Amino acid sequence: MFQTFQLRTHHRDEMIDITDNLATYLKDQGVEDGVMFVQSLHTTAGITVNENADPDVKHDMLMRLDEVYPWEHSKYRHGEGNSASHLKTSTVGTTQAILIHHGELVLGTWQGVHFCEFDGPRNRKYSVTIIKNG
């Protein structure tokens, strides 16, 4: 089971909660137990599992990533000017594995799955594959 999804981002840096979309896809597939892999198809956008209840967490994460990897840095050599975006993506990662049990994603009470944009706004894609147990 493999599917590619598209989304539109609206800011240079943002985290978009895709948990409901993933849960709907899982329900449509009818898988009871297994693992779901979610992967960004970009070098300047990642996937993370983190807090989804308090929007301040997203703000704080993006703020700190921007402090660690500033957008404008005189020593970056990459010609496109988005080296900070590549560094942020490598830090966050492009893939997450989420367990499936009794037809639901195994996430903690406050967890959600987020598409992390670091070079937007853009049209983006992420792919999902599910491996069933048994």
CA distance 93 to 86: 10
Q: What stretches of 1-134 show up as alpha helix (H) in DSSP?
A: 19-29, 55-68, 83-92
CA distance 121 to 14: 9
Specify the pLDDT at position 82: 84
Give domain limits for the chain: 2-132
**Lookup: tokens for 44:** 């300047």
Span 40-67, pLDDT tens digits: 999 999 999 999 999 999 999 999 999 9
Residue 45 per-residue DSSP state: E
CA within 13 Å, CB half, 80: 8
Tell me whether residue 88 is exposed, middle or buried, using C-beta atoms within 10 angstroms of its C-beta: 0 to 12, 13 to 18, 19 or more: buried
Confidence class of residue 78 from pLDDT cuts 50, 70 and 90?
low
| pLDDT for residue 79 is more than 70 | no
Label residue 71 by pLDDT band (50, 70, 90): confident
Q: What are the tokens at 12? A: 């240079």
Q: Rounded to 5, what percent of the chain is helix, strand, coil?
A: 25, 40, 35
Q: What is the model's pLDDT at position 74?
A: 66
Pick the CATH number of 2-132 from 3.90.1150.10, 3.40.50.2300, 2.60.120.460, 3.90.1150.150: 2.60.120.460
